[in-house]
Amino acid sequence: MEMIASLAQELNLDKQHVAATIDLLDQGNTVPFIARYRKEITGEMDETVLRQLQERLTYLRALSARQQEVKRLIAEQGLLTDDLSKLIDGATSLQQVEDVYLPYRPKRRTRATMAKEKGLEPLADSLLDERVNDASANELSLLYIDVEKGVAAAADALAGAQDIIAERVSEDFHIRELTRNFYRTYGDLVVSAVAKETNSPYEMYYDYSEPIKRIPAHRILAINRGEKEGLLKVELNLPLDQLIERILHRFVRRRQAPVFLQTAVADGCKRLLFPAIERELRNNLTEVAEEQAIKVFAENLSNLLLQARVKGQVVLAVDPAYRTGCKLAVINAEGGVLDTGVAYITPPQSDLTQGRALLLRLIKAYGVSIIAIGNGTGSRETEDVVAALISDNHLPVSYTIVNEAGASVYSASPLAAEELPDLDVTLRGAVSIGRRLQDPLAESVKIDPKSIGVGQYQHDVNQKRLAQTLQGVVEDVVNKVGVDLNTASPALLNYVAGVSKAVAKNIVAHREENGPFKSRQQLLKVPRLGPAAFLQCAGFCRIPGADNPLDNTPVHPESYPVAGHLWKRMQGQAEGMTLDETELAALAAELGAGLPTLRDIHAALLRPGRDPREDLPGPVFRRDVLKMEDLVSDMILPGVVRNVVDFGAFIDIGVKQDGLAHISEICERYIKHPADVLHVGDQVTVRVLDVDLKRKRIGLSLKGV
């Protein structure tokens, strides 16, 4: 119950809803299923809150297990007291538990352990008596001279006892907390250059200092990278003498500590405590920064995957390159490959006659209406040729730039070989670019989410944590949109709640052997897809043209009887099909159904087969091209947000280099983060602030346009 209360308070949730949600998770239900179909039980928690709850639940359970383990280990030493037990039980983090356990943990040989082996621990205990001063300390030390043990003089005994005291200072739970808080409150992160280089991305950090409590996440990661590359030196700076005074007072509890204690405490702080806390603090700063970077990546990925589809169009996809030429693939409205080729329209060949002729032939032969150009190497040169071709030949064709991040990874993957066995690896990338335009979600799920370039410092963060988070994002998006059971690839089906890789392949194999699915119930005939998996996945699977129209909606089969009653009531409406909140509440009470569920069913029946991506703006199509040299200050241009990071947003305005709108130039009012107002894929109007041709940088503003 304490854990439930803690989670409820931390996440600002109702205790009953937290307890019920934990039960659902423990029963093996997936987050998308719980979020969509158990709203009455959870109090309508969305996927984000559910994943936070799941994560914190895992942490608190690990904390509880470690608390019990530490108490057992200390009890085995015969040293567990009531006060110590309360201190462990009161710990709110794993770090605090480890701090309490530190003095009792088996350790390697230290100066303190060697002193204990010499029999000097009783001397250390005696020296802590408040009646002992410097003179009496020397007298006491004389009693512990033992040449055979390596204690040849009183000074040796006193030094050994001081080592024991120093270690006790460094391992004291309360002193570690005091030190940790002091660093966080008064510490500065100080950065300097190991060797100053011009035009380095780290120039701003050559002589840099910022309070630890205020430094933003992206700066931490940038500084870490510079330090790792050997270009930056990082230190933590704070008034250490003042901190040592506080620690001395806390540990000794005397108005005036004798010199031998001052020496021991200072040694414990400088040699043991401060280095440990600094390492811990640097690690904590990095962890927090990584969490922020992962959060930004996750939000960007979600918005990217939810971009609108381009339906019913024949697409000519172009994967630009220099030496090997631009790979071409003509793709029909269903994503099938109609033709391929290579156009040598970029340097060094620059065979415009061959390239233009091939492009023109493919456009006319297959009725191409859109050209999708990858944004990689050679993209802008390719764009120049395409724009000129459209203009010179008055073609009823538009083009757009497509994010090709990860296309090469997909091209060489076993999945690509399985899907496109007759195509060369180099041509598969072009197919992927075209399909990304037609259905960003269905194509992007074939690629490791980490390879989709919409993050910041994604290669510097904890890769396991990043992969877990992005996996959850893709899962949430796929289930929010739903999948067509008769066209979805195994890669897409694998993200459906309750569907494993093996079951995804079995679903595809079943439809290939038995023809298209005509009802959701047929899923139960798929090998290894039993009732439990069916419960999780059925509502997210769509079947256009199914025998039961509800099979093409987000309505779960368990709610079909309720949906039938609701449909009859909707048909009986005098004006339109819509029921208001009062009518829905009355019907919910009548049917014994939950009001949130009834609202969802009502929305689904009003717009059967609706794809939530249809409400979003589509890609920006162009027919001409701009160059950086064309840009001047105060020019107003349309743009598309390509990436959102902590310090601003990168916006494609149709030139080779994306422009940066700094966070201070995004909104007239104060915002904490660019993601508060901008998302990947947003179409915006921007004003050019400045253009640096030499450094290839464009400053943009969204204010006042």
| Neighbour-count burial of 544, counting CB atoms closer than 10 A to its CB (0-12 exposed, 13-18 middle, 19+ buried) | middle
Query: SS3 for 187?
Result: coil
| Neighbour-count burial of 383, counting CB atoms closer than 10 A to its CB (0-12 exposed, 13-18 middle, 19+ buried) | buried
**Element spanning 53, H or E:** helix 47-76
Report residue 308 as tokens: 């609108």
Question: Hey, which residues does 699 pair with through a beta bridge?
Answer: 660, 690
- Choosing from 593, 615, 637, the residue where a domain stops is 615
574 lies in a domain?
A: yes
pLDDT of residue 108: 87
The verdict on 697 and 574 lying in the same domain is: no
pLDDT of residue 254: 77
Cα angle 387, 393, 395 (rounded to 5 degrees) comes to 75
pLDDT of residue 625: 65
pLDDT of residue 314: 96
With a cut of 50, which residues of the chain have pLDDT below it?
none
CA 243 to CA 253: how far, in whole Å?
A: 15
pLDDT of residue 47: 95
pLDDT of residue 695: 82
Q: How far is CA 392 from CA 73, 356, 388, 389, in A?
A: 81, 11, 6, 5
377 lies in a domain?
A: yes
- Bridge-based pairing state of the strands 483-484 and 541-542: parallel
The verdict on 143 and 252 lying in the same domain is: yes
Radius of gyration of the chain (CA): 33
The verdict on 79 and 177 lying in the same domain is: no
Total tally of structural domains belonging to the chain: 5
CA 78 to CA 212: how far, in whole Å?
A: 41
- The dihedral region occupied by 150, where left means phi > 0, alpha psi between -120 and 50, and beta the remainder, is left
DSSP codes of every residue in 397-430: -EEEEE--TTHHHHHTSHHHHHH-TTS-HHHHHH
CB contact at 8 A, 300 and 452: no
Which of 700, 301, 271 lies closest to 469 in space, CA to CA? Answer: 301
For the stretch 189-225, pLDDT in tens is: 999 999 888 778 899 999 999 999 999 999 999 999 9
503 lies in a domain?
A: no
Report residue 221 as tokens: 């990661």
473 lies in a domain?
A: no
For the stretch 114-141, pLDDT in tens is: 999 999 999 999 999 988 999 999 999 9
Q: How far is CA 408 from CA 331, 405, 427, 430, in A?
A: 18, 8, 10, 9
373 lies in a domain?
A: yes
pLDDT of residue 652: 87
Domain of 344, CATH number, reads: 3.30.420.140
Report residue 162 as tokens: 């001081």
| Neighbour-count burial of 269, counting CB atoms closer than 10 A to its CB (0-12 exposed, 13-18 middle, 19+ buried) | buried
- Choosing from 615, 645, 674, the residue where a domain stops is 615
Domain of 661, CATH number, reads: 2.40.50.140
500 lies in a domain?
A: no
The verdict on 360 and 268 lying in the same domain is: no
Domain of 28, CATH number, reads: 1.10.10.650
The verdict on 84 and 130 lying in the same domain is: no
Token look-up 């066995």 returns: 421
The verdict on 220 and 187 lying in the same domain is: yes
The verdict on 118 and 49 lying in the same domain is: no
Q: Over the chain, what is the mean pLDDT?
A: 93
489 lies in a domain?
A: no
Token look-up 């998302």 returns: 679
CA 284 to CA 55: how far, in whole Å?
A: 18
Which of 683, 643, 661, 225 lies closest to 405 in space, CA to CA? Answer: 643
CB contact at 8 A, 34 and 50: yes
Domain of 596, CATH number, reads: 1.10.150.310
* Residue type present at position 569: R
The verdict on 195 and 322 lying in the same domain is: no
| Strand arrangement of the beta sheet that strand 398-402 belongs to | 337-343, 326-331, 315-319, 370-374, 398-402
CA 405 to CA 412: how far, in whole Å?
A: 14
The verdict on 144 and 246 lying in the same domain is: yes
The verdict on 96 and 133 lying in the same domain is: no
Q: Note the pTM of the prediction, 2 decimals.
A: 0.87
pLDDT of residue 574: 61
The verdict on 35 and 176 lying in the same domain is: no
Query: SS3 for 643?
Result: strand
Answer whether the bond into residue 674 is a cis peptide, omega within 30°. Answer: no
Q: First CA to last CA across the chain, in angstroms?
A: 54
Angle of helix 595-606 relative to helix 560-571, nearest 10 degrees? 60
Which of 211, 214, 191 lies closest to 203 in space, CA to CA? Answer: 191
- Choosing from 104, 135, 155, the residue where a domain stops is 104
Which residues touch 66 (CB under 8 Å, ≥6 apart)? 94, 97
466 lies in a domain?
A: no
The verdict on 531 and 674 lying in the same domain is: no
Domain of 264, CATH number, reads: 1.10.3500.10
CA 619 to CA 695: how far, in whole Å?
A: 28
* Structural domain of 97: 2-104
